[in-house]
Amino acid sequence: MKGPKLEPTVMQIAATAEEYQLWKPGHRIVVAVSGGADSVALLHILHQISLYRTPLTLICAHVHHGYRAESDAEAELVQKYAESMHIPFEMVHLNMPKYLEETGRNSQDAARERRYAFLHQVAEKYKADSIALAHHADDQAETVMLHMLRGSGASGLSGMKIKRTEKNVELIRPCLRITKTDLEKLCEKEELPYLIDSSNMNRKYLRNVIRLDVLPFLGQYNGQIKESLYRMAEVIGTEDDYMEAAAEQTFADMVMKSGDQLTFSVPAFKGLHVALQRRLIKLILNYLPSNDDFATFSRIESIRKGVVQTEPTTWILDIGQGIVCMREYNSIIFTARKSVSEHYSYQLHSPDGESFLYLNEIKRTIHLAHSKGMCRPLSANEAQFDLSKLHWPLTVRARLPGDTMKVMGLNGSKKVKDIFIDAKIPPSLRSRIPLVCDVEGNILWIPGVRRSIHAPVTDQSAQVIQMWIE
């Protein structure tokens, strides 16, 4: 598309858009315009690109926060400027002071949340492909410094992304490689109308302190401090994207999902680089239903160290917000904390034919039936007993502390706890395994695990009771 020679800043943003595929011909873009030099320049630049390089449909969106005396003037300025270019204008009046008084929320967080909600509403109304934000290189430097002071990891030090998806709409920052000075120069040269936000000088906001005090102070020792921070964000951001993709692939290869549980193998995890181990745990924590800031470094590291240690091989860690992480031998399980009743008890009476008992607490069923003579059980989930040697009624109950059993094939008694350990029964499953006892309290059978020496079936057994569990 032929036209006048475009400003270097416009050409630079067009090149960035092509590199990151920020838009395609015919895309609809909601442009967030506050009335400051940055956002006014962004609207001008996108309008120039839509006229002379790539056909775009632009929608100007303005948020009237109701904070400052000049808010009305900003709204009027943005509306007139958008209309001068025949760009649709959308505005919302939030009355943030009243909202903050009613909710008691942090002003910056609340304003950002409601501002983005409005932008998404406009995007939905116009079926837009993206929302363009006017963040620039100086904003990026401030963001990196802010995250550095808060002790952020690589993801925080990578700063803001030029492009990311939120609620099926792309958030794009075409000016992220342009300095604030260059945007202001463009406004002056093209005589673009803009106002200065007086709140940018308020030092009660940490970001303003960084802009007004911290960066100028550091600039005494590095005259290119902003450029250095921006370059660092660009390098770390690229590497962070690579690590995130590697973590997602590792998650797909290693983590199994079953219901509300996420599970992975300890040996496979130990084979990963430490950086990827941390990334994988962070990704898992982000998948779990939790609040923001759940995937903290201390939480991630406590889990990681528990996984890679040699002993113990079974443990449970309450990681907060109703979620537990468990190690069960060679498996790590993340799941919601649930309590299975450990105090159930049912009676079994000698059946005339075939009968069954449903154990409601653990959702399992025990079947009883008369059998003709002795035959080998097909699995550990089946057992046979000499009817004449059983002392009825039998009891099916949860295990109790100190339970012991006389195991068939062993001399003497053995603790049920040790039987579970030897059989490598995961701790989370032990409360789901019932014990079948006779009227005298002897443990006859632990379904799926071991059988006792009591009431064995021999060639002389006239009547046999067969039990199985499902």
Q: Which residues carry a binding-site annotation for ATP?
A: 34-39
Our CA angle for 199, 205, 210, nearest 5°, is: 105
Whether the Cβ atoms of residue 77 and residue 83 lie closer than 8 Å to each other: no
In 3-state terms the chain splits into helix, strand, coil percentages (rounded to 5) of: 40, 25, 35
Paired sense of beta strands 169-172 and 130-132, if any: parallel
**Calpha distance 186→42 (Å, rounded):** 10
Kindly tell me the burial class for residue 353, based on how many C-beta atoms sit within 10 Å of its own C-beta (0-12, 13-18, 19 or more): exposed
Angle, to 10 degrees, between the axis of helix 8-20 and the axis of helix 180-190?
A: 130
Angle, vertex CA 218, rays to CA 217 and CA 219, nearest 5: 90
Copy the structure tokens of residue 416: 């049920």
DSSP 7: P
Amino acid (1-letter code) at residue 419: I
Residue 225 CB coordination number (10 Å): 18
Positions at the binding site: 34-39
Residue 211 has, within 13 A of its CA and on its CB side, a CA count of 17
b/e string for 125-157 if b means 16 or more Cβ within 10 A? ebebbbbbbbbbbbbbbbbbbbbeeeebbebbb
C-alpha separations of 17 from 148, 195, 354 in Å = 28, 27, 74
